[in-house]
Amino acid sequence: MGTYLALELRRIARDPFSMLFTIGIPAMMYVIFGATMSYGDQDMGNANVAMYIMINMSAYGAVTATTGVGGMAALERMQGWGRQLGLTPMPDSRFVVIKAIIGVVQAAIPVAIIYTIGFFTGAKAAWWVWLSSGLLVMVGAALFSLYGLTVGSLFRSESAVGVSSGLVVIFGFLGNVFIPLSGWMLTVAKFTPLYGIAALARRPATEGLSVNIDSGELITEPLWQILVNVGVWVTIFAVASVLLVRRGRERQ
């Protein structure tokens, strides 16, 4: 397990340019909709609105990075790598754990860069909010390495990466990440996988507050709903990824 983890980390270090798109889009969206807007200085819980938007964009960048980790599983299967791993003593569950760890490592890169930009462009909060929200983004994004692995195991071509990344954009809109939702759209959002991760990461900054886009009023996101969302989707993707990886090896 340690050897395989080291090999995966080396592969990331050899291809730094693949992270440019993952970092550039959410960083640009934060600057446009957070740093340059007059409402960015308004207080919201333990932070300001710019911090709220920065955390959302960091979560999007992080899950995009970790999704790519899982999506690469499809290419590995095409190249026969899954069969090679099947000949080793490493069980399928450890393979999934390693993918999750790699996902956290890759998530740390866009989070660090976007947080640095936010620090110098008006995002404000106490030091413990910066630290706790950043850690929650990285840990929560590990869920999407399992999601990417699940989708990657369903497809046997390069389309797996495109499908999984495209769905992340949809999850971002439905998950209350890009724009605040209200009414039935907010109800739907609470059942999508990105909602729980982003809401949990924002919790230290906002104390559970969110904006009602219709009235402009602040509403409270119950913590138990957020935790249930994260727990259910972690379970679904973890079980599905292990079963699909196992099935893929049996067919090889």
Alpha helices (H) along 33-126: 49-78, 81-86, 92-120
**How many domains in the chain?**
1
Q: What is the mean pLDDT of residues 52-59?
A: 94
Tens of pLDDT, residues 197-226: 999 999 999 988 877 666 667 778 889 999
Query: Is residue 92 scored above 70 in pLDDT?
Result: no
Q: What is the mean pLDDT of residues 132-142?
A: 89
Domain that holds residue 78: 2-251
pLDDT at 9: 72
Residues forming a β-bridge with 61: none
Q: What is the mean pLDDT of residues 149-162?
A: 72
Tens of pLDDT, residues 161-187: 777 788 899 999 999 899 888 888 888
pTM of the model: 0.85
Alpha helices (H) along the chain: 2-14, 20-30, 49-78, 81-86, 92-120, 127-154, 159-174, 183-189, 193-206, 223-251
| Model confidence band, residue 87 (pLDDT cutoffs 50, 70, 90) | low
| Rounded alpha-carbon distances, angstroms, from residue 238 to 70, 127, 146, 211, 252 | 12, 33, 6, 32, 22
Report the SS3 class of residue 122: coil
Backbone phi, psi, residue 26, to 5°: -65, -35
> Of the ranges 20-29, 121-130, 207-216, which one carries the lowest mean pLDDT score?
207-216
User: Which one, of 31, 29, 56, 50, lies nearest residue 181 by Cα?
Assistant: 56
Q: What is the mean pLDDT of residues 2-13?
A: 71
Q: How far apart are CA 200 and CA 133, in angstroms?
A: 8
- For the chain, give the percent of residues with pLDDT over 90: 33
